[in-house]
Amino acid sequence: MTLSIHQNTSRAAGFRKSLEGWARAGIKEVELTDNQLDEFLKTDTIEAARRLVSDLGLTPVSCASVLPDFWIPGPNRTAALDTWKKRCEQFSSFGIPRIYCPAVTSRKVTAEDYKGALDCIREGGEAAKQFKMAAMIEFARNSTFIATLTTSLKLIREAAHPNVHPMLDCYHFWSGLSKFEDLDLLRNGELTHVHFQDVPDMPRELLDNTTRLIPGDGISPLVRILQKLADKGYSGALSVELFLPEFTQGDPFEVAQRIRQKAEGVMRQARVV
């Protein structure tokens, strides 16, 4: 497995400075985001963004397109799908092989939504396929639609589109409603991408999307999780995505150094590097 950093981790630094700082810290793989790219494109070009990534010797392994209600039917479906296609076109030009959208929702979900979701999942997968990208669904601990690995796997398998795959966010997994044994449900080679964070030692009722720690600083059984994922055939990136101000507003170089020291230690302990 390889270490990557998600652009949300150094969000305040912006597209250029986050990547420059990480590269100086020895980071080789990155995960790009739609909002960071949009800010960069206000004053520069997509060609300049690609050149920056290339000149820094970075490999973008994944990217995020955050679209509420993207995986369920609704009145904004057409506009959301158009935006998804735009993101696929933009990010595929970097050579990125996969793109994800979290299962965030802005409304109450019904049983009918789960039935309609299957076509939405197929549409998302087909659109990404046109740009030679794999589409991924990220379950989220606070989602009223897909909050667990089990629900994610169930819907993806029912939709049965060969270009749609599950991903795992370690924070959403361990801080939410999932349990370790759920990893046994993964088929060999089925998992396509992993977000890598730790959960703090505090009541789960106080946890939110921001209370994520660098791997190794919390109480998640990350070594066991990585070993299980390796058993399931996963050998890809472990992308560290953090939201606490000490990370998002910190110096990207220093944050990346801290991440490398801690995260690579966990990876070595799990014997996945």
Nearest residue to 184 via CA among 155, 153, 140, 158: 153
Q: Is 253 helix (H, G, I), strand (E, B) or coil?
A: helix
What is the rounded distance in angstroms from the CA atom of residue 109 to the CA atom of residue 145?
6
Q: Where are the domains of the chain?
A: 2-270
pLDDT score for 107: 83
Let me know: does 128 contact 89? Beta carbons within 8 Å: no
- Secondary structure letter of residue 186 according to DSSP: P
Nearest residue to 218 via CA among 262, 181, 177: 262
Model pTM score = 0.96
Q: How far apart are the first and last CA of the chain?
A: 6
Residue 215 phi/psi, 5° resolution? -50, 130
- Helix ranges, 105-238 (H): 111-129, 149-159, 170-175, 222-231
Backbone dihedral region for residue 212 (phi beyond 0: left; psi -120 to 50: alpha; all else: beta): beta
Does CATH place domain 2-270 in 3.20.20.150? yes
What is the rounded distance in angstroms from the CA atom of residue 184 to the CA atom of residue 107?
31
| Strand blocks (E) in 23-143 | 29-33, 59-64, 98-102, 134-138
pLDDT score for 106: 77
pLDDT block averages, 10 residues each, the chain of length 273: 99 98 99 98 98 99 97 93 99 99 91 96 98 98 96 98 98 97 98 99 94 98 99 98 98 99 99 97
What is the rounded distance in angstroms from the CA atom of residue 204 to the CA atom of residue 118?
31
Let me know: does 29 contact 264? Beta carbons within 8 Å: no
